[in-house]
Amino acid sequence: MQIDITFKNMDSTDALKDYASKRLSKLDKYIDRPTEVHIVLSVEKRRHKADVTVSADGVVINAVEITEDMYSAIDMVMDKLERQVKKHKEKLQGKKGQAKAAMPAAASLGEEAPSPRVIYERNYFVKPMSVEEAILQINVAKNDFIIFQNTDSKQINLIYRRQDGDIGLVEPLI
């Protein structure tokens, strides 16, 4: 497991790093393959925030907790993360057995396949910028898409990298 710990508005301490790593080691029993974990510990006034993102097997799981003590924030976010990872693993194990039995029956009856589920949701900061700036950002950041507020039209736009390598722009109709 590759762990990256970032501190914002506070000093980096080995005690916090060790504590977070120790609490994170509980997830090893639920995750089989190598994973990437990014932990952001930050302080704003009296609010201590622990934000943990786990990327494993193409799935991203995120948990955030805010308390008045950093250690309790780490405890609470790790408990929340452990529940999410455990729930995800149980779903995968349940689907493996069901998928083999259910797929041929559904196909033979001519039923439609179930619609895809939303696995991960994330708040996305919409930054005001021009189309040219968005093109620069998508090239620099190597993102697949950027949602931004067009400074010219004041509308929310989406710019994305197409499969052919070109850049696509989605503008809403007014």
Give the domain ranges of the chain. 2-106, 127-170
pLDDT of residue 54: 86
Of 70, 22, 13, 64, the closest CA to residue 46 belongs to: 70
How is residue 25 annotated by DSSP? G
pLDDT of residue 8: 92
pLDDT of residue 120: 65
Question: Is 1 in contact with 28 (CB distance < 8 Å)?
Answer: yes
In total, the chain counts a number of residues equal to: 174
Three-class secondary structure of residue 97 per DSSP: helix
- What is the β-pairing status of strands 59-67 and 167-170? unpaired
pLDDT tens series, the chain, 174 aa: 788 889 998 888 899 999 988 888 887 777 766 678 899 999 988 899 999 988 877 788 888 999 999 999 999 998 898 888 888 888 877 766 665 554 444 444 445 567 777 666 666 778 899 999 988 888 887 778 888 999 988 899 999 888 888 889 999 887
Question: Is 53 in contact with 107 (CB distance < 8 Å)?
Answer: no
pLDDT of residue 105: 46
* Residues 68, 49: Cα–Cα separation, whole Å: 9
Determine which helix (DSSP H) or strand (DSSP E) holds 136, and give its type and residue range. Answer: helix 131-141
Question: Is 150 in contact with 171 (CB distance < 8 Å)?
Answer: yes
Q: Mention the CATH class of domain 2-106.
A: alpha beta
pLDDT of residue 49: 92
- What is the β-pairing status of strands 156-161 and 145-150? antiparallel
pLDDT of residue 107: 46
What's the CATH fold of domain 127-170?
A: SHC Adaptor Protein (3.30.505)
pTM of this prediction? 0.52
Question: Is 151 in contact with 132 (CB distance < 8 Å)?
Answer: no
